[in-house]
């Protein structure tokens, strides 16, 4: 494991204005994530988890503060640089899977490889491997609507891994899954951290997921409050 953190977030502020109201989604958030670790980001709805992930992935820009991914200052990148960052270093797994409805499972997994203009032979080999990895090799030609929620999320994870990212951002990946399916997805993510060495930052409410994480960062009202890895999730004192 490198001494340099894979992710470094420093003094990030993000405010949203809704009419006359200003919401401080992130309020001076700072933390580091070591490479090859799995960090759980927990907090109640509206606490700023998704905003933080979006800022880290460059989908959103902070009002202040910096984000470094593998030494790259994300906040300094222009639009093309951010797109390149997401193609090469950062991958997303969305709560509602985010698969492209018109593409089959295999085609969804191949999407990042196509963006990276990987040669067709290599692309097909890698898609096959990834589908086998997630146990959906037999469902390669099925479209998302023909897959179950768990299967879709596994495809989403496979797609996220396709471009060999260094950082995987997962936004409540088990939020729409039943407990059993959620568990298998969590196990898959943990396995990927172990086998691929990918750094995973996952926002979750799930205690099991927190238990699988190397570290848990709690966020409430835009502030961070770190707790020990493997500790059961405890709501913040002010959480209702």
Partner 1 sequence: MRLVSRRARAQWPLLAALLGVVTIGATVLGTCTLLVTRTAERALEVAVARAAPSAVDVTVYTGTVEGRDTPSVAADTRTVVASTLAPFPVTTTARASTVLRALPPGLATGTTVPAQAYLSGLDDLPARSELVTGRWPQHPGDAVLLESTAQLLGLTPGRRVRLGAELAHAPVPPIDVLVVGVVRPLPARGWDRDPLATAGSAAGYRDGRFMQPVNAYGPFLVDLADLVTTGATVDRMEVTAHPDLSHSNRHDLETVVEAVDGVDRRLAGTLGDRVQLARVASELPATLRSADDQRHVTAAAVLAIAVLGGVLAATALVLAGRLTTGIRADETALRSALGASRRQLAATATVEAGFVAAVAAALAIPASSALHAGLTHLPPLDGAGLTVRPAVVGAQVLAVVGGALVLAAVLIVLAIRPVPAASDQRTRRELLARSGADLMLAVFAAAGWWQLYAQPTDASPRADAVRMLAPALLLTAGAALALRVVLPALRGADRLAYRARGLAFPLAVAEAARRPQAVAAGLLVGLACAAGTFGLAFDDTWHQSQRDQAALAVGTDLALTLSTAPVAGDGAVLSAATAGAVSPALDRGTAVGQWLGSAGDAPRLVAVDTTRADALLRGRLDNDRGWADVGATLAPPTRVNGLAVPAGAPLVLSGTAAGDTPPVVTPRLMLQDATGLRTACTGPAVPLDGREFRLPACATADGLRLVAVALPVTADAGGGPVAVAVTLTVPPAGPAEDPTDGSDWTATSAPPIPSRLRDPTVMVSATPTGTTLRMAATVDLGGVEDAARTLVATAFPDPGPVPVAVSARFASEVGVESGSQLSVTVGITPVPVVVTEVVPAVPSAPGAVAVLADLDTLSRARAVTGDLTFPVDAWWVGHPAGPGAAERATALHLGAVATREAETARLIGGPLLAGLPAALRLIVPAAALLLLAGVVLHVTCDLQARAVEVTRLRGLGMSRRGIRAVLLGQHAGVLLPVLAAGAAVGALATRVVAPLLVRSETGAAPVPATQAHWPWPAEAALLAVLLAGCMLAVAVVVTVQVRRADATHLRVAP
Least distance (Å) between residue 154 CB and partner 1: 17
Least distance (Å) between residue 3 CB and partner 1: 28
Q: Dump the DSSP string for 10-60.
A: EEEEEEEEETTEEEEEEEEEEEEEETT-EEEEE--TTSSHHHHHHHHHTSS
Least distance (Å) between residue 219 CB and partner 1: 14
Structure tokens at 14: 């993000």
Sign of the C-alpha dihedral computed for residues 108, 204, 196 and 165 taken in this order: positive
CA distance 18 to 168: 30
CA distance 221 to 149: 30
* Position among 5, 62, 112, 173 found at the interface with partner 1 (CB under 8 A): 112
Which residues inside 47-106 make contact with partner 1, applying CB under 8 A?
Answer: 50-51, 54, 57, 59-60, 79-80, 83-88, 92, 94-96, 98, 100-103
CA distance 92 to 101: 17
Residue matched to tokens 């606490």: 47
Least distance (Å) between residue 117 CB and partner 1: 6
* Position among 34, 35, 115, 137 found at the interface with partner 1 (CB under 8 A): 115
Which residues inside 122-161 make contact with partner 1, applying CB under 8 A?
Answer: 145, 159
Least distance (Å) between residue 169 CB and partner 1: 9
Closest by Cα among 238, 184, 217, 167 to 7: 167
Q: Which is nearer to partner 1, 145 or 228 (CB)?
A: 145
Which residues inside 160-199 make contact with partner 1, applying CB under 8 A?
Answer: 163, 171, 176
For partner 1, how many residues bind (rule: CB under 8 A)? 36
Counting other chains too, the contacts that 141-146 makes at CB distance below 8 Å and 24 or more residues apart are 141/104, 141/105, 141/106, 142/104, 142/105, 143/101, 143/102, 143/103, 143/104, 143/105, 144/97, 144/99, 144/100, 144/101, 144/103, 144/105, 144/108, 145/101
Least distance (Å) between residue 109 CB and partner 1: 11
Least distance (Å) between residue 235 CB and partner 1: 22
Q: Which is nearer to partner 1, 34 or 103 (CB)?
A: 103
Residue 111 binds to partner 1 (criterion: CB under 8 A)? yes
Q: Which is nearer to partner 1, 107 or 196 (CB)?
A: 107
CA distance 63 to 169: 21
In the complex, which residues of this chain contact partner 1 (CB under 8 A)?
50-51, 54, 57, 59-60, 79-80, 83-88, 92, 94-96, 98, 100-103, 107, 111-112, 114-115, 117, 119-120, 145, 159, 163, 171, 176
């Amino acid at each position: 494991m490198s001494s340099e953190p894979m992710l470094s977030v420093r003094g990030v502020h993000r405010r949203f204005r809704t009419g006359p109201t200003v919401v401080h989604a992130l309020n001076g958030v700072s933390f580091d994530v070591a490479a090859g670790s799995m960090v759980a980001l927990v907090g109640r709805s509206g606490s700023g988890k998704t905003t933080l992930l979006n800022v880290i992935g460059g989908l959103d820009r902070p009002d202040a503060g910096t984000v470094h991914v593998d030494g790259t200052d994300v906040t300094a990148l222009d639009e093309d640089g951010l797109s390149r960052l997401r193609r090469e270093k950062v991958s997303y797994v969305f709560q509602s899977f985010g698969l492209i409805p018109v593409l089959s499972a295999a085609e969804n997994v191949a999407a990042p490889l196509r963006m990276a203009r990987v040669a067709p032979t290599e692309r097909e080999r890698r898609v096959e491997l990834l589908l086998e990895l997630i146990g959906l090799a037999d469902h390669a030609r099925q479209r998302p609507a023909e897959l179950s929620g768990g299967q879709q999320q596994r495809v989403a994870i496979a797609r996220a891994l396709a471009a060999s990212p260094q950082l995987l951002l997962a936004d409540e990946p088990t939020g729409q899954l039943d407990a059993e399916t959620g568990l298998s997805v969590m196990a898959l993510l943990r396995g990927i951290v172990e086998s691929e060495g990918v750094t995973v930052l996952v926002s979750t409410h799930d205690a099991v997921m927190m238990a699988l994480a190397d570290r848990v960062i709690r966020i409430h009202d835009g502030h961070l409050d770190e707790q020990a890895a493997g500790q059961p999730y405890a709501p913040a004192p002010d959480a209702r």
